[in-house]
Amino acid sequence: MNSVLYDQTFISFSEKYILMRGLIVRKPFGTLIVEGKKKLEIRKRPTKLRERVVIIENGKAIGEVDIADVVGPVGLEELKKLEEYHLAGDFLEEYVGDGYAYVWVLKNPKKYEKPRKIKKPRGAMVFIKDVEFK
Does residue 125 register a pLDDT over 60? yes
The answer to whether 50 touches 65, Cβ cutoff 8 Å, is no
pLDDT in tens, 90-99: 899 999 988 9
Q: What is the CATH number of the domain that holds 50?
A: 2.30.130.30
pTM of the prediction? Answer: 0.84
The answer to whether 53 touches 22, Cβ cutoff 8 Å, is yes
- 2 within domain boundaries: no
* Number of folded domains that form the chain: 1
Structure confidence at residue 120 (pLDDT): 78
Does residue 123 register a pLDDT over 90? no
Helices (H), ranges, 15-98: 29-34, 76-80, 83-86, 91-96
Print the domain residue range for 67: 22-113
pLDDT in tens, 44-94: 999 999 999 999 999 899 999 999 999 999 999 999 999 999 999 989 999
Dihedral in degrees, nearest 10, Cα atoms 118, 120, 125, 128: -70
Structure confidence at residue 31 (pLDDT): 97
- 41 within domain boundaries: yes
Average pLDDT over residues 22-33: 95
